[in-house]
């Protein structure tokens, strides 16, 4: 298995995911790239899975990949890759999103303007990455959400990421957390409001949908009309991590506790909305 599914004894219908916190760099990747491994670090969210340990105690589970975003980006659609960057037949290539044009598609090919690979990506290699790492993660994600929906009548996915401090500010102040619900399409307003309210009560500066409304995972799995809600949480990286060396610092405690409160509140909110008893 190229992902880790960590279960909890809690009965709340909340699943956590952290698709960019994989830290196991395959030798195949390190031999293929033209950059030093440290140059790939800005692609990663850091150990968000460690940050989420208190939240997991309030949730049903946490899904985390072992491999890094540099190997394959689980928060991209499977066709988000430039055909011009592929050597050989790869029929799903062609979704030219802004991220793809910047070299940040299904498999990142550029970082800070520098090419990651000396040449094109092999089609066979891309197919293998999809088969070994991408599809198993998404099958597990869909399965776990459906299990929660069947058990509780509702499921909530909190897809968790981190963002550089320099990436977002509001009225001159860095925003602590951005909550994305695809502008209301991936989660019911009450679910989004519960998350925002809980975070602000903990003293965090929160923005919604700007500049991050949610990526492929939020879009693909958020189906509020069917009882499945998906939110993307972008946490400012320096709140829990030293951005120069990617080591956790003391801020992990306050932020981890805040995210645990979010899970408890949003899980109970979702249960009340469908008339189910809240978690004990």
Closest CA to 107 of 153, 43, 52: 43
- Residue ranges making up the domain that contains 13: 3-73+128-273
- Which residue is associated with the tokens 């320099």? 166
Give the CB-side neighbour count of residue 46, counting CA atoms within 13 A.
23
3-state SS assignment for residue 247: strand
* Spatial separation of the C-alpha atoms in residues 170 and 176, rounded to whole Å: 10
Give the CB-side neighbour count of residue 203, counting CA atoms within 13 A.
4
* Spatial separation of the C-alpha atoms in residues 94 and 250, rounded to whole Å: 44
CA-to-CA separations, 171 to 44, 117, 168, 174, 197, in angstroms, rounded? 27, 39, 10, 8, 20
CATH code of 161's domain: 3.40.630.40
Structural domain tally of the chain? 1
Each residue's pLDDT expressed in tens, for the chain with a length of 280 residues: 799 999 998 889 999 999 999 999 999 999 999 999 999 999 999 999 999 999 999 999 999 999 999 999 999 999 898 888 999 887 665 667 888 989 999 999 999 889 999 999 999 999 999 999 999 999 999 999 999 999 999 999 999 999 998 887 655 678 999 999 999 999 999 999 999 999 999 999 999 999 999 999 999 999 999 999 999 999 999 999 998 888 999 999 999 999 999 999 999 999 999 999 887 6
Radius of gyration from C-alpha coordinates of the chain: 18
3-state SS assignment for residue 223: strand
DSSP annotation of 216? H
Give the CB-side neighbour count of residue 23, counting CA atoms within 13 A.
9
Q: Does residue 225 lie within any of the structural domains? A: yes
Number of residues that make up the chain: 280
Q: Does residue 105 lie within any of the structural domains? A: no
How do 169-170 and 173-174 pair as beta strands? antiparallel
* Spatial separation of the C-alpha atoms in residues 103 and 162, rounded to whole Å: 19
Residue 95 is predicted with a pLDDT of 65
* Spatial separation of the C-alpha atoms in residues 264 and 254, rounded to whole Å: 16
Q: Does residue 190 lie within any of the structural domains? A: yes
Q: Helix count (H) and strand count (E) of the chain?
A: 9, 15
This prediction's pTM: 0.96
* Spatial separation of the C-alpha atoms in residues 153 and 17, rounded to whole Å: 20
Token pair for 162 = 């981190």
Give the CB-side neighbour count of residue 189, counting CA atoms within 13 A.
0
Residue 109 is predicted with a pLDDT of 96
Q: Does residue 38 lie within any of the structural domains? A: yes
* Spatial separation of the C-alpha atoms in residues 207 and 200, rounded to whole Å: 10
Q: Does residue 234 lie within any of the structural domains? A: yes
Q: Does residue 197 lie within any of the structural domains? A: yes
Q: Does residue 99 lie within any of the structural domains? A: no
Q: Does residue 20 lie within any of the structural domains? A: yes
């Amino acid at each position: 298995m190229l992902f880790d599914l960590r279960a909890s004894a809690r009965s709340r219908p909340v699943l956590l995911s952290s698709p960019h916190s994989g830290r196991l760099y395959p030798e195949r990747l390190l031999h293929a790239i033209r950059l030093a491994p440290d140059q790939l670090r800005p692609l990663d969210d850091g150990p968000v899975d460690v940050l989420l340990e208190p939240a997991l105690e309030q949730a049903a589970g946490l899904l985390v990949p072992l491999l890094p975003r540099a190997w394959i980006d689980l928060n991209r659609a499977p066709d988000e890759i430039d055909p011009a960057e592929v050597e050989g037949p790869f029929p799903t290539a062609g979704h030219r999103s802004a991220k793809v044009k910047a070299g940040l598609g299904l498999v990142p090919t550029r970082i800070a303007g520098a090419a990651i690979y000396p040449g094109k990506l092999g089609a066979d290699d891309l197919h293998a990455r999809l088969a070994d790492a991408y599809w198993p993660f998404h099958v597990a994600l869909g399965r776990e959400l459906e299990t929660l929906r069947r058990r509780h009548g509702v499921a909530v996915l909190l897809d968790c990421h981190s963002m550089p401090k320099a990436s977002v500010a509001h009225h001159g102040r860095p925003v602590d957390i951005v909550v994305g619900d695809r502008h209301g399409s991936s989660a019911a307003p009450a679910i989004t409001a519960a998350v925002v309210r809980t975070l602000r009560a903990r003293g965090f500066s929160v923005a919604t949908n700007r500049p991050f409304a949610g990526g492929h995972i939020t879009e693909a799995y958020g189906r509020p009309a069917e009882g499945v809600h998906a939110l993307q949480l972008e946490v400012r990286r320096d709140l829990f991590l030293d951005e120069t060396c990617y080591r956790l610092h003391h801020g992990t405690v306050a932020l981890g506790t805040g995210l645990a409160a979010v899970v408890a509140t949003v899980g109970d909110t979702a249960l009340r909305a469908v008339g189910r008893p809240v978690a004990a």
